[in-house]
Amino acid sequence: MVNWYALFVESGKEDLVQKHLHLKFDQCALQTLVPRRKITEKKQGIVKHVFKKMFPGYVFIQTEMDSVIYNDIKSTPRIFTLVNIGKYYEGKETHFSSIALEEMDVILKLVGPGGCIDYSTVHVDKDSKVSVISGPLKGFEGIIKKIDKHKNRAKIVINLLNQNLTVDVGIEVLREVL
């Protein structure tokens, strides 16, 4: 059965690991994802749009895991381990865990086919109620925990591998017209 898995890799080397995996495996046998987020950064008064990894140190793979694929993955440079959330998997001792489809679906919907979560347009009313007008966060208002209007960022909480992870994502805040 084809499942999603998380690889714990050397931080900053996610793209290199992804490249190694593409060279080692046929695209039908294994697909990779390094989710990114588009945010604004202001340095010395200059605003830039930059792309950052959503989960530094992790590469997600989709494959039908078996011992051959597992050993090929483990022998890939810069990969430390496959993430394991339990000692047993399907009644057998194992060294990896698949990611629940519901958890991965949220990430896949947020990043879309390009693998990057783009800006969402949000409106914050005078009672601090957040409405998502458009963008990847539309329909995911429940995962928004905080809005930073000055940095144009939203803190979202994503449940992944039995952990709640907080990620900053870029937003465009509609300003009130007086």
Query: Distances in Å between the alpha carbon of 61 and those of 27, 35, 120, 150?
Result: 11, 11, 26, 35
As for how many domains the chain has, the answer is 1
CATH (domain of 79):
3.30.70.940
Q: What is the distance between the alpha carbons of residues 84 and 94, in angstroms, rounded to a whole number?
A: 8
Separation of alpha carbons 56 and 112, rounded Å: 19
3-state SS class at 95: coil
Predicted TM-score (pTM) of the model is 0.88
Dump strand ranges (E) for 54-119: 58-63, 79-82, 88-89, 92-93, 98-99, 116-117
7-61 pLDDT, tens digit per residue, is 999 999 999 999 999 999 998 999 999 999 999 998 998 999 999 999 999 999 9
pLDDT value at position 120? 96
Task: Tell me what pLDDT residue 37 has.
Answer: 97
pLDDT score of 121: 95
pLDDT in tens, 115-142: 999 999 999 888 878 899 999 999 998 8
Give the pLDDT band of residue 91 (cuts 50, 70, 90).
low
Percent of the chain with pLDDT over 90: 74
pLDDT, residue 110, reads 96
Q: Which domain range does residue 85 map to? A: 3-174
